[in-house]
Structure 1
């Protein structure tokens, strides 16, 4: 298992609560496995499995999640991504197919969102005090912002493939890639796909609030998920949704922020300005077959703000649910594609 000390610099997603279903006459056996990974927790519910399978299943889940950390964690000095970040040359660096897949998805979502998702934005995150560096004692100057922004940009990152394997390449020696906005969702997909390979198609996988469900729950009913109301420490349900065979990811800024020089600074950095977002969009929930894609989209849409996020979702037929802060409370907006998931 992975120590909670091995933090990932990830946007803090909203916790998902499992919504209670109506009692059924009979229930199938259900195995629940929990553990630590990526600086947070995981929880896996497997219908049709029993305690006799628990040790083998958990060992393989832990092994596969450890591999993701060994590939993509920026908190492991010997991970593939850390070695690439330290490299100052321009030659391609060979990586695993998994790392290449996640970076490729990040680049595609970055282009699709006009740079709202930018996995090279880590130096700006650190500058504003949301990384491993200490928080600044004053707002960064325009000169500091300009200097830091000169070291980021998706245009400096490339994935190449040949007969020998997959490679990452950068044209800017100082480029630093952080996949934490998307890798947690990838980890969920890894576990879900492993269980499907084993014939365990009725399951729920969660890593730190990002969820993927398949099949039916122990009561023979569709899995239902409750999205948390965005109020610190509330733990109350905002909306219950029935996913089908899909994933759900949420990004929000109401928990991870601090105040400096009278300004409220969000952990969500807008790559276009180099500064924390200032709009009033509190949380974004995305439903998508791939948890990796849902995870990345949730971050990008948070950066966009309410109006741009809704327009983007309608244009690309995405299922999203937004909560925006107003003087009267939180306003709910959702895309056309999201409405079919509403329950209760």
Structure 2
């Protein structure tokens, strides 16, 4: 479905602006917890509890998110993933069950998307200056790209499990795994699942724009996520999405980029070319029960481009919302599965 619009959405700026606009009525108690993680922020709304539990909940949320960073951050030299990336041979490298779970999901989504989602493009991400390494002073040469690409490819990464634990294994030296396309969504799932374990089934969890909701809000209504228009100052509502027991994640090319040699470079790398993507798809929003999967798919669909992403979504019955640049502005496209989530 294609809709012409004069203003485009910024789903990366997912906000909860509508909460104050909903009809007044009987409300359950709610706490709002905020903090920092994964180089961004988190925001957690928990319905059915009060400030007496806030400190306990936040301490455990912080502990669990810190553990995810210790497992999967490429910015921490002593994380499990960083140590695996430095691992020089093909012997199995022991990791936690969580790291194995996320890498397994990444490999599954990589196969599903025909290799478009590839968590082994880390060396290319670093070469283009979007990882822990410094940005290049010039566009990498084709020779540099060819050399780096010999160290990438999902076929070189395996997850092994036996009665002693879980392991990662690489079949080429220098294989470097970057889970930034999936780990933030996993962190959201971790927090949501913890709250559910505590019997707090009505909640909203956000990490840097990736969101998962469970149950109902404090007014006993469906969670309504307001998607903002971009621009300076406070954002205004462009589109409302109604969710319950679902997640929403966005990938976009308009926030994490820089210019080099007169060319604007996106942070998203196309595994097929080794270059940053250069299509007119500005952003992709995906709704899925798992925030980890929504996060991964949003990145993959961003690489595919508009027409291919829409076809893929229809084939796999995915709920996606796209913003594509045109000469007249931005065009909204959505899959048929997304339409039922629109509110107002």
Q: Same fold (TM over 0.5)?
A: yes
- Structure-2 residue corresponding to 1:170: 170
SS in structure 2 of the partner of residue 56 of structure 1: helix
Given that 1:210 and 1:249 are in contact with CA atoms closer than 8 Å, whether structure 2 keeps it comes out as: yes
- Structure-2 residue corresponding to 1:331: 331
- Structure-1 residue corresponding to 2:7: none
- Structure-2 residue corresponding to 1:142: 142
Give the distance between the partners of 1:232 and 1:169, measured in 2 at CA: 46
SS in structure 2 of the partner of residue 254 of structure 1: coil
Greater shift after overlay, 179-188 or 126-135?
126-135
TM-score by length of 1: 0.94
Offset of residue 267 of structure 1: 1.1
Give the distance between the partners of 1:205 and 1:240, measured in 2 at CA: 17
- Structure-2 residue corresponding to 1:18: 16
Greater shift after overlay, 125-134 or 214-223?
125-134
Give the distance between the partners of 1:237 and 1:142, measured in 2 at CA: 43
Give the distance between the partners of 1:19 and 1:119, measured in 2 at CA: 34
Superposed, which structure 2 residues align to 1:226-245 within 5 Å?
226-230=226-230, 235-245=235-245
Give the distance between the partners of 2:178 and 2:256, measured in 1 at CA: 18
- Structure-2 residue corresponding to 1:278: 278
Give the distance between the partners of 1:235 and 1:181, measured in 2 at CA: 25
- Structure-1 residue corresponding to 2:79: 79
**What does the per-residue CA deviation read over 1:289-328, in whole Å, with 9 as the maximum and x for residues that have no partner?**
0000000000000000000100000010000000001111
Give the distance between the partners of 1:106 and 1:76, measured in 2 at CA: 20
1:316 pairs with 2:327: no
Give the distance between the partners of 1:250 and 1:342, measured in 2 at CA: 16
Superposed, which structure 2 residues align to 1:1-344 within 5 Å?
14-21=12-19, 22-230=22-230, 235-344=235-344
Give the distance between the partners of 1:29 and 1:159, measured in 2 at CA: 43
Given that 1:230 and 1:282 are in contact with CA atoms closer than 8 Å, whether structure 2 keeps it comes out as: no
- Structure-2 residue corresponding to 1:3: none
1:216/1:261 Cα in 2 relative to 1: closer, same or farther (>3 Å)?
Answer: same
TM-score by length of 2: 0.94
Give unpaired runs (5+ residues) of structure 2: 1-9
Given that 1:139 and 1:261 are in contact with CA atoms closer than 8 Å, whether structure 2 keeps it comes out as: yes
Give the distance between the partners of 1:156 and 1:233, measured in 2 at CA: 46
1:234/1:275 Cα in 2 relative to 1: closer, same or farther (>3 Å)?
Answer: farther
**What does the per-residue CA deviation read over 1:249-273, in whole Å, with 9 as the maximum and x for residues that have no partner?**
0010011222222322111110100
Give the distance between the partners of 2:336 and 2:11, measured in 1 at CA: 23
Offset of residue 228 of structure 1: 2.8
Offset of residue 138 of structure 1: 2.0
Give the distance between the partners of 2:110 and 2:63, measured in 1 at CA: 30
Give the distance between the partners of 2:78 and 2:97, measured in 1 at CA: 17
Offset of residue 80 of structure 1: 1.0
**What does the per-residue CA deviation read over 1:207-228, in whole Å, with 9 as the maximum and x for residues that have no partner?**
1110000111111110011223
Offset of residue 125 of structure 1: 1.2
Give the distance between the partners of 2:226 and 2:139, measured in 1 at CA: 37
1:125/1:234 Cα in 2 relative to 1: closer, same or farther (>3 Å)?
Answer: farther
SS in structure 2 of the partner of residue 269 of structure 1: coil
Offset of residue 96 of structure 1: 0.8
Aligned residues: 333
- Structure-2 residue corresponding to 1:6: none
Give the distance between the partners of 2:237 and 2:24, measured in 1 at CA: 23
Give the distance between the partners of 1:90 and 1:228, measured in 2 at CA: 47
